[in-house]
Amino acid sequence: MRFPSVLRSSLVAVMAMLGLALSSAAHADSGTVRLTIYKGGWFIGGSGGGGTLTFRGRTYPLSVGGIDAGLVFGGSKTVLRGRVSHINRASDVAGVYGAAGAGLAIGGGARAIVLSNQKGAVLEMTGRQFGLMANADLSGLAITMK
């Protein structure tokens, strides 16, 4: 008779923990992001810029910076718009985002990207890239709140 009550107690504890995890995910929200990123390099590149996060009716300024390693030649300006999801507070958008990519922009071109950070925030953005840039690289993008 003792075994079923221990099993029942364990099952209740597991269900409670699962409920807490699901309620935390259920309260995750989303916002909109606009970023302007300037990128340049010759083998090793760097990027910087800024933008805004609009979340729960408020607008927050953002700074963007990063390093690219691989085959990077040229310079470009990229303007991206999209959404960030899986955030509980505005500060969840801050963090390091990593990506591997390749591209070629001569004059202008379309750009789409999906990234996630260590806090679980997911950026889904599209936009335009202007300039002369050829790249096949690994890049890291750090977003901070001003």
Question: What 3-state class would DSSP assign to 105?
Answer: strand
β-sheet bridge partners, residue 107: 131
> Does residue 8 have a pLDDT over 60?
no
User: Average of pLDDT values for 67-92?
Assistant: 88
Own/partner pairs for 14-21, CB < 8 Å, 24+ apart? none
Identify the residue with better confidence: 103 or 16.
Answer: 103
> Does residue 144 have a pLDDT over 60?
yes
User: Average of pLDDT values for 12-32?
Assistant: 60
User: Average of pLDDT values for 65-94?
Assistant: 89
**pTM for the model:** 0.73
User: Average of pLDDT values for 27-45?
Assistant: 88
pLDDT for the residue numbered 79: 92
Identify the residue with better confidence: 101 or 82.
Answer: 82
> Does residue 134 have a pLDDT over 50?
yes
Give 29-145's CATH code, choosing from 3.40.50, 2.40.128, 3.30.390, 1.10.10: 2.40.128
pLDDT class of 22 with cuts at 50, 70, 90: very low
> Does residue 91 have a pLDDT over 90?
yes
pLDDT for the residue numbered 12: 52
DSSP conformation letters of 29-88: EEEEEEEEEEEEEEEEEEEEEEEEEEETTEEEEEEEEEEEEEEEEEEEEEEEEEEEEEES
